[in-house]
Structure 1
Amino acid sequence: MNLLNLIEKVVSFKCKQAAPSKSIKLSKVYRIPSIINLRKNYPTFRVEHNFSDLNTQILLCDSGEHEIVLILNYNFFHYSEIINTICDIPMPVSYETVGDVIHFNLNVEHLPYKYLIGKILYDKTGCTVINKLGNIKSTFRYYDFEYIGGKVDINSLNYNNEKEVNIDGTKYTIYKEEDILDLKERECKNTCKSYTTLSKDDFNKELLDLLIKDYCNKKILIKIDKLETTLVQNDVKFFIDLKNVYWCSKLQEERRKLINEIDSKSVVCDAFCGAGPMVIPLLKKGCQVYCNDLNEKAINCLKINLKINKIEEGFNIENQDAKVFLKNIQNVKIDHYILNLPEYSIDYLKYINQGKVHCYFFSNENDVKNYVFVKTGIINPNIRLIRKVSPSKNVYKLFINLNK
C-alpha cells in the first residue's frame, strides 16, 4: 500500500447548476476545471455533492447559490508541495533529468529525506531517482551514485537481513552504516521533528508519522549494478549507460550552439567524444568526424547511437589516450577541434597546430584570464562563460583560430 495515496485536502467552492453562458463569470482555480461534470471521474480529485441530476454540469463561480466539495488527492499535488509539507526544512526542487533518470546532488541536510524524495518523484514521473555521491574522480568522469527511488520501493527490500537483492535483472546492493566509511561524514541529525501542512487540518499527523518512519532517517545506502536510459537531444536519440559513461543534460544548449557554428562538410575532431552528443548531430549535418574516447564503455554507447540513428559512414572511431590520438591525426586537415574534458582539456592544446579549437575548461572567475595565459601564453584569450558549477568553479570555453 502506498501511504502517500492517503494524502487528501478538502476544498469547497461556490457553484451554479446551469449551462455556461456569457453572463456567468467562471472562477479560475489553478489545476481545477471551471466546469465540472458530475459523471466524470477526475484523476486528481473527487466530488462530493447532493445534486440529484448527475447529468448536471457544475459551474464554479463566486456568484453561485450552491456549494460543492472537492477532495484533492495525492495526484493533485506537485512533488514540491508534498515534500515541503512533510519536511521541516526547505527541500530541493531542481534536478537534472537524463532520459528516464532523475539525478540529484543532495546536500547533507536533505539526506535523511532521500528515500521520501525518491518515492514521491518516482510516483509523479515514473523515473528512476539517483543521488550523486561525492565529486567526479574517475578517469572517465562518470560519477558514483546511490539509488533513492524507482520501481523497487525501499520498504520492499529486506535491508535488515540482506545485502544483495536481484529484481528484474538489476542487482541492488545494500550498505549499512557500519559498512560505509564515509557515511558518518554525510550523516546529519534527525530533522524530522514536526510538520508543516498545506492546511493544518488537512493532513493526518499519524499518516505523516508513518511516512517519516517508513522513508526517512534510514542509515543505509543502496547501489544498483546497471542504469541505462535513452533520451532525445538536439533531434538525436541517444542510448546512455549512466553507470559507466558521463552525460550532462545541462550542456544541451551549448552543444546546439556549437553544432550551429560548424559548417556542414567540415572535418571535425572530438578528442573526448563520450557517447557522441556532438558526434552524432555533426554527422547528421554532413560533417566528417574523427572521434575518440579513452572510456571503452563510452565508445560502446557511441557505436550503439550510430546504429540507432542509422549512420554508417563519415566517422573514424578510436579508443585511445587523447594525446596519442591527437598526435596520430596531426597530418589530417581538421577544420574544428572539440576538447571537452574541462579538468584537463587545456593541457591538450599543445598537440594541435591547425584549425579552429573549441576548448572547455574549469576555472575560478577571478583568475580565468591569468589561468589561460599561464597555460597557453595567450594574452587576450577569446573566453566565454558556459555555466557555473559551484561558487568557486565555472566552465568556460576558449576559442582559438590557429589558421590565422
Structure 2
Amino acid sequence: MLAFRPPVVRSAAGVLDRALFSKTVRLAAAAVEDKTKIAKWRRTLEKANEMLVVDRLQAIRPHPDPAMAAKGSKCLLLDTAIKHDNPETWGPCLKEAVSQQEVGVVPFDLTLQYDYWSYEDVMSSLIPPEAIDVHDGIPVGFNTAGHVAHLNLRDAYLPYKKLIAEVLVDKNPNIRTVINKTADVGNESEFRTFSYEILAGDPDLNVEVRENECTFRFDYSKVYWNSKLHREHTRLIDMFQPGEVVCDIMAGIGPFAVPAGKKGVFVWANDYNPESFNCLEDAIKRNKVSQYVRPFNRDGKVFVTEAADSVFAAFQNGESALHEPSRKDKRDRRRDLANAANPSVTPPAPRPEPKSTPIPATISHFVMNLPASAISFLPSYRGLYVGKEELFEPHTSTKLPMVHVHCFAPKQVDSDAPLWDVCERISTELGVQIQPGDPEVPGRAAIHNVRTVAPNKDMFCASFRLLPEVAFASRS
C-alpha cells in the first residue's frame, strides 16, 4: 500500500535523523458517538472489508475533534479508497451506518513517526535501490549473543554500517550492542574468535544466553558462539541417551555438553581455548551438571585417545553419578509424612534413596564441531580401542562409537556432490572407505546439511560408526 510506505530519506552524511521519518496519511474515519456501538460497527465494517487493515496500526482511534475526543467519542479508520467527502466511495455497510445516523464520516489525518516504521522500512528508505543486493535484499540476518548483535556485512553495505547498526538497536529492544566482523573466524586466532568493530551501543561484550534450558555466561570477543547452531545442538543432543558417555572434542563453552549433562548423559568436554574452558567450567557449575560433565583443556588430537582411556579408568574405578530424589518424590514423601498422624491413612513409603548411574566402559558418541578443520583430527581415532576388542561386538552388545564430524563443503549443481566430497575427505584421513548412506551400515555415513554459511558454501555434519580396522589399529 503506497500510502503506508516510509518517506525516502537518503543520508549522505551517514547520520540518522529520526524526525525526517514523520509522514501524514490523509484518511476517512467512521465517527461513532455512542461508545456502546463501536464493537458492532467494527465487526460490520471489517467483515465488509471497508476498514483500514495495516500491520501494527490500531484501527480504533479517538475522535479527531478534541472536544469530541474529550467526551470519549471514538472513530474507526476506513480503507484508503474511501473519501470522507465523496459518498460514491463509501461501501454499502458504511452507507447503512450513516443512514441509521449511528456513524458520521469525517476526515482523519494519521501521522506516522519513526517508531512506527520497521527496520526494513527504515533501511529501504535510507539505502539507495542501486546499493541493495538483488538476491539477498537489505541485510536482515545476524547472530545474537545476549544483548549483542553480530553482523557480517558485505562490502556494498559498509558505507551504511553505522546507520544499519543504529536502526537495529532502535528496532530490537533486546539488542544494546552491534558489532561487525572484520575478518573470518579463526583468521587471527586458533580459537575461532574474530576481529570486529563496534558499530553501535555499549562496548561491553560480556553476555548471558540461554539455550536448551541452560544458562551460559561469556565474553563474546574471547570465545566462539553461534546462535544459528541452536537446531544442530538440539539435533545431536536428542541422539544421546541417559547413561551413555559422549566425548565433545571441541566443546567450546558447552552448548552440546551442558544440556546433555542435564538429561543424564556423561560428557567428557574439551576445548583448547583457555577462555572457553573457563566458561565451560562456569556453565557446568551454574547448571549443576558437575556429576555428568567433566571439563578439559587439551589439544583435541591428543584428547581423543586420552578420553577413551579416562572413561575406561572411571569405569574400572566404579565411578558413578548419584541422582537425588525428584521434586515429585520429595512432595509425595512430605504428603505421606503429613498424613502419617492419621491412623486410617496408609503408612508413608520409605524415604526415597539416591539412585546411582555407573559410568560405562566405552564412549558412545564423539562430537567434533570445528568445521574448518575437524576432519583433519580423524587420524587420532586410529587405535582408539586397541587391546580392548572384548568390550565390543561380537563379544558384547556394545557398538563402536558414533563419530559426528562437522565440516564445510562448496555448493554444487549436483546436490549429492558435496556428500561424496565430504566422504572422500573423511576416507583420506581415516585410511578406510566411507560413502554416503545409513551410518549403522559399516563404511557408511549420514551427511546432514546443517546450514548455509555463505552463498557458495554449506556446513555439514557427517555421522558414521567407527570401523574396527580403525578403532583396533595400532596407535601411532
TM range, smaller chain = 0.7 to 0.9
CA distance in 1, matches of 2:306, 2:426: 26
280-289 vs 51-60, greater mean Cα deviation = 51-60
1:140 is matched with: 191
CA distance in 2, matches of 1:11, 1:342: 52
2:125 is matched with: 85
2:435 is matched with: 380
- Larger RCO (alpha carbons 8 Å, 6+ apart): 1
1:113 is matched with: 160
SS in structure 1 at match of 2:68 = coil
Alpha-carbon displacement from aligned partner over 1:369-389 (angstroms, at most 9, x marks no partner): 433333333231412221222
2:465 is matched with: 401
1:24 to 41, 45, 53: 45
Structure 1 length as normaliser, TM-score? Answer: 0.74
1:277 to 255, 258, 272: 255
- For the Cα contact (< 8 Å) 1:267–1:334, is it kept in 2? yes
Unpaired runs of at least 5, structure 2: 1-14, 33-37, 80-93, 95-103, 133-137, 312-361, 385-399, 412-416, 437-444, 469-476
CA distance in 1, matches of 2:425, 2:304: 23
What displacement does 1:349 show?
Answer: 2.1
What displacement does 1:132 show?
Answer: 0.5
2:178 is matched with: 129
What displacement does 1:294 show?
Answer: 0.6
2:372 is matched with: 343
What displacement does 1:95 show?
Answer: 1.7
- For the Cα contact (< 8 Å) 1:227–1:243, is it kept in 2? yes
SS in structure 1 at match of 2:157 = helix
AA partner of residue 123 (structure 1): D
Please tell me whether residue 33 in structure 1 is matched to residue 33 in structure 2.
no
SS in structure 1 at match of 2:268 = strand
CA distance in 2, matches of 1:373, 1:402: 12
Alignment of 1:4-403 (within 5 A): 4-18=18-32, 19-21=38-40, 22-25=43-46, 26-37=51-62, 49-54=64-69, 55-62=72-79, 63=94, 65-88=105-128, 89-90=131-132, 91-126=138-173, 127=175, 128-136=177-185, 137=187, 138-151=189-202, 227-331=205-309, 332=311, 333-352=362-381, 353=384, 354-365=400-411, 366=417, 367-376=421-430, 377-381=432-436, 382=445, 383-402=447-466
Alpha-carbon displacement from aligned partner over 1:93-132 (angstroms, at most 9, x marks no partner): 2222222111111111111111111111112224211101
CA distance in 2, matches of 1:243, 1:252: 19
- For the Cα contact (< 8 Å) 2:378–2:426, is it kept in 1? no
363-372 vs 300-309, greater mean Cα deviation = 363-372
CA distance in 1, matches of 2:45, 2:369: 60
Question: CA 1:324/1:371 → structure 2, altered by over 3 Å: closer, same or farther?
Answer: closer
Question: CA 1:15/1:391 → structure 2, altered by over 3 Å: closer, same or farther?
Answer: closer
Unpaired runs of at least 5, structure 1: 39-48, 152-223
SS in structure 2 at match of 1:111 = helix
- For the Cα contact (< 8 Å) 1:274–1:299, is it kept in 2? yes
CA distance in 2, matches of 1:399, 1:369: 10
AA partner of residue 78 (structure 1): S
AA partner of residue 258 (structure 1): L
Question: CA 1:391/1:117 → structure 2, altered by over 3 Å: closer, same or farther?
Answer: closer
- For the Cα contact (< 8 Å) 2:302–2:380, is it kept in 1? no
Question: CA 1:392/1:30 → structure 2, altered by over 3 Å: closer, same or farther?
Answer: closer
CA distance in 2, matches of 1:230, 1:378: 43
**C-alpha RMSD over aligned residues:** 2.1
CA distance in 2, matches of 1:344, 1:36: 60
AA partner of residue 340 (structure 1): N
What displacement does 1:351 show?
Answer: 2.3
Alpha-carbon displacement from aligned partner over 1:319-359 (angstroms, at most 9, x marks no partner): 11112222212333111111111122112222233411111
2:336 is matched with: none
What displacement does 1:403 show?
Answer: 7.0
- For the Cα contact (< 8 Å) 1:20–1:59, is it kept in 2? no
SS in structure 2 at match of 1:247 = coil
**Paired-residue identity, %:** 31
SS in structure 2 at match of 1:52 = helix
Larger Cα-atom Rg: 2
- For the Cα contact (< 8 Å) 1:363–1:371, is it kept in 2? no
SS in structure 2 at match of 1:20 = helix
94-103 vs 58-67, greater mean Cα deviation = 58-67
Question: CA 1:307/1:392 → structure 2, altered by over 3 Å: closer, same or farther?
Answer: same
CA distance in 2, matches of 1:308, 1:58: 54
- For the Cα contact (< 8 Å) 1:270–1:289, is it kept in 2? yes
Q: Which has the higher strand share?
A: 1
AA partner of residue 228 (structure 1): N
Structure 2 length as normaliser, TM-score? Answer: 0.64
